[in-house]
Structure 1
Amino acid sequence: MQDLIVTLDGPAGSGKSTVARVLAQRLGLEFLDTGAMYRGITAMAIARGVDVHTETHLVNELVRHCEIGFDWATDPPRLHVRGQDLTGRLRDDDVTGGVSAVARLPAVREVMVREQQRIGREHPRLVTEGRDQGSVVFPGAAAKFFLEASPAVRAQRRADQMRAAGRRVDVERIREQITARDAADASRSVAPLICPEDAERIDTSEMQLDEVLDLLTARVRALPGGGPRATS
């Protein structure tokens, strides 16, 4: 079976995780949520009493000795850090507020990129989403997409997800967090958020989920190796 890596990059709240997960299902590929990995490290650091904004040396030490991976038997795969299932913590406010500080650390990104590339070798038919997948982690990917939307739209989508999970929502606070995350991701010195030159840029602000999925599905199925295991 021919290898097939599909990357979806874009800013926070652009719908990458949802699109990537469903796209993988449609195409019969596996799904990698790289943002969950950074959030998992953040959640673990917070649980250990580390201030991720000021005690960066402790975050660096934690990630160097941290076993992080996914349970691929579940859909979507659940995240485990040092044997703990932290999936339920990943969208909590304290994790959301700290993940940019963690993700900008060169030592953290070095470990995460290495682990993501390892996953790509072990799961070579993969849809992977994040902020540097097409630019840094998988520059030779067969298909690259960059999803974007306005901050207001992204905030509302994130709020809807949280309400569906039974959580309290402050849409304005979510919008502020998203705007701050955009600035942090675009300005960091290591692997900043960019649209790869060979990626297709897609503004999803006025698109429904199925429209985005239909477009990406057609693009990937047109590629060599993009169709044999595809499902409807």
Structure 2
Amino acid sequence: MQRLIVTLDGPAGSGKSTVARMLADRLGVEFLDTGAMYRGLTAKALDRGINPAEEGYAVVGLARNCDIRFDFGHSPPRLFIGSQDMTERLRDQHVTAHVSDVAALAGVRQVLVDAQRKVGAEHPRLVTEGRDQGSVVFPNADVKFYLDARAAVRAQRRADQIRASGRHADLEAIRDAIVARDHKDSTRADGPLICPEDAQRIDTSEMTLDEVVDLLERRVREAVEATA
């Protein structure tokens, strides 16, 4: 089986998860949502009464001592921590509010980067998305993309996503949170959000979802043909 690792990095609300899932379906490969791992761990920490901003040591201990895995029998894969399915918790607002604090912890990143590389070894035909996939986790990926969009556009997309699930969305608060998270993610000491030098940067601000997926699919297939 020929290996094909495609990475999608980018800031919060840039559509990475949806695009990566659709791209994986188009290419007939598997999909890894690494942000779900950080969000699932955040939810688990909050359930335990841990404040990630003040008790980072406790979050690191939790990461080291719990089994974080995906069930690839579902599409998209469902995230489990131990025997608990955390999938429906991942977009909770209180999880979103704390996930950057969790993602900034070097000890957490070490555990989850190792887990992500293990997934890549077990599933060598994979589209994986996150904030450090092409820069840290899979530096030798076959094709790398960096998706971006204006903060206002990303906020509107996230608000639409929340409203589609039947929940209230405060657009201004979402935009402020996205800007704050951009700053946290790009300035953290370990695995900061950057555009890898060899990644193709795509501004999706004026593109529809299908247009983005069409473009990425075409470029992946061109890259595969060029190396065949």
Report the counterpart of residue 58 of structure 2 in structure 1.
58
**In the aligned structure 2, how far is the partner of 1:206 from the partner of 1:76?**
26
Report the counterpart of residue 172 of structure 1 in structure 2.
172
Cα deviation 1:71-108 (Å, max 9, x = unaligned): 10111111101210011111111100000000000000
Cα deviation 1:46-72 (Å, max 9, x = unaligned): 000001110111111101101001110
Alpha-carbon offset, residue 20 of structure 1: 0.2
**In the aligned structure 1, how far is the partner of 2:198 from the partner of 2:7?**
11
**In the aligned structure 2, how far is the partner of 1:180 from the partner of 1:23?**
29
**In the aligned structure 1, how far is the partner of 2:24 from the partner of 2:146?**
16
Report the counterpart of residue 104 of structure 1 in structure 2.
104
**In the aligned structure 1, how far is the partner of 2:46 from the partner of 2:102?**
11
Aligned partner of 2:144: which letter? K
Report the counterpart of residue 27 of structure 1 in structure 2.
27
Cα deviation 1:131-161 (Å, max 9, x = unaligned): 0000000000000000000110000001111
TM-score by length of 2: 0.98
**In the aligned structure 1, how far is the partner of 2:141 from the partner of 2:225?**
13
Paired residues of 1:4 and 1:225 also in contact (CA < 8 A):
no
Paired residues of 1:103 and 1:109 also in contact (CA < 8 A):
yes
Structure 2 gaps of 5+ residues are: none
**In the aligned structure 1, how far is the partner of 2:210 from the partner of 2:88?**
26
SS of residue matched to 2:223: coil
Report the counterpart of residue 127 of structure 1 in structure 2.
127
Kindly tell me the number of residue pairs found equivalent between the two proteins. Answer: 228
Q: Structure 1 segments of 4 or more deviating over 3 A? A: none
Alpha-carbon offset, residue 225 of structure 1: 6.9
SS of residue matched to 1:190: coil
Aligned partner of 1:112: which letter? L
1:75-154 matches, cutoff 5 A: 75-154=75-154
**In the aligned structure 1, how far is the partner of 2:80 from the partner of 2:173?**
28
Identity across aligned pairs (percent)?
A: 64
Cα RMSD for the two superposed structures: 1.4
Aligned partner of 2:210: which letter? D
Residue 74 in 1 paired to residue 41 in 2? no
SS of residue matched to 1:223: helix
Aligned partner of 2:9: which letter? D
**In the aligned structure 1, how far is the partner of 2:99 from the partner of 2:194?**
18
Report the counterpart of residue 217 of structure 2 in structure 1.
217
TM-score by length of 1: 0.96
Residue 14 in 1 paired to residue 14 in 2? yes
Paired residues of 1:186 and 1:193 also in contact (CA < 8 A):
yes
Cα deviation 1:208-232 (Å, max 9, x = unaligned): 1111111100011112379x9xxxx
Paired residues of 1:3 and 1:225 also in contact (CA < 8 A):
no
Aligned partner of 1:174: which letter? I
**In the aligned structure 2, how far is the partner of 1:80 from the partner of 1:171?**
30
